[in-house]
A = this chain, B = another copy of it.
Amino acid sequence: MFLLNKQNGVSDLVINRLPRYYRFLGELVAEGEKRISSRELSEKMGITASQIRQDLNCFGGFGQQGYGYNIDMLYEEIGKILGLDKPSKTILIGAGNLGKAIATHVSFNEKGFELIGVFDKDLSLTEKIIGELKINSMDKLEDFCLKNKPECALLCIPKTAAANVCEKLISLGIKGFWNFSHYDLSVKYKNIAVENVHLGDSLMKLSYRIKNQ
């Protein structure tokens, strides 16, 4: 019933929806709910029941006819599919206003990441604390990566600095970027995992929608 039969070639659109399933299921878990039909989940999430069944079938299907979904198990399985049970060691590059807010506001541990180091080229920040981590100068980066082997970098630096830093990070073994800079990593690096958070682009899209609705 709860086979984790992940298929290769699952579409990005399905992957993009998984975190939202995970969030909704997490709320149901917190409320002590035990099972839910795709119809009920559909009403909560505002997507069709057949979409939900299709999405979850990509991973082997978790439901049972006439019973619906076991919430605890579905929540746990989606968490595993997302890899949340295997935290990726992560470093933050850029400890300015934005980097600091992201580092202190986001629950990395619940989302499949462990923040283990913070770096900034501004030497006036060196040794200051973000969360529980000391800010390091950039010349410590190489040694740190060789020793601690982080897999992921959170980029909160200007576009102008990002190209050089990314090249270095990739050479040091970084496999994924949570990218708040406006540097388009994926143009040059096709096989690196990148999630861009382009706050400015998001605002411009909203501007379009407000003015054209």
A residues adjacent to B (C-beta < 8 A): 15-16, 18-20, 22-23, 44-46, 81-84, 86, 88, 96-98, 100-102, 104-108, 110-113, 151-152, 175-178, 182, 184, 186-187, 191, 193-195, 197-213
Q: Which residue in B102, B208, B213 is a CB contact (below 8 Å) of A175?
A: B213
With A184-B45, A199-B106, A200-B107 in contact, do A176 and B19 touch (Cβ < 8 Å)?
no
Asked whether, in the complex, the Cβ of B207 is within 8 Å of the Cβ of A84, the reply is: yes
| Bound Cα distance from A176 to B210, whole angstroms | 6
Q: Which residue in B101, B111, B152, B191 is a CB contact (below 8 Å) of A98?
A: B101
Give the chain B neighbours of A203 by CB distance below 8 A: 106, 108, 111-113, 178, 195
- Identify 22 residue pairs between A and B in the complex whose beta-carbon atoms are under 8 Å apart, listed by A's number: A16-B205, A20-B184, A20-B198, A20-B201, A23-B182, A23-B200, A83-B212, A86-B211, A98-B101, A98-B105, A106-B203, A107-B200, A108-B203, A111-B200, A112-B207, A113-B203, A175-B210, A175-B213, A193-B206, A193-B209, A194-B206, A195-B202
Q: Which residue in chain B gives the minimum CB-CB distance to A83?
A: B211
Asked whether, in the complex, the Cβ of B46 is within 8 Å of the Cβ of A187, the reply is: yes
Q: Which residue in chain B gives the minimum CB-CB distance to A46?
A: B187
| Bound Cα distance from A203 to B208, whole angstroms | 26
Give the chain B neighbours of A206 by CB distance below 8 A: 112, 152, 176-178, 193-195
| Bound Cα distance from A108 to B204, whole angstroms | 9
| Bound Cα distance from A86 to B200, whole angstroms | 16
Give the chain B neighbours of A207 by CB distance below 8 A: 82-84, 88, 111-113
Q: Smallest Cβ distance from A56 to chain B, in angstroms?
A: 15
| Bound Cα distance from A157 to B45, whole angstroms | 20
Known: A96-B105, A195-B202. 5 other contacts (CB 8 A): A15-B209, A88-B211, A107-B200, A177-B206, A178-B202
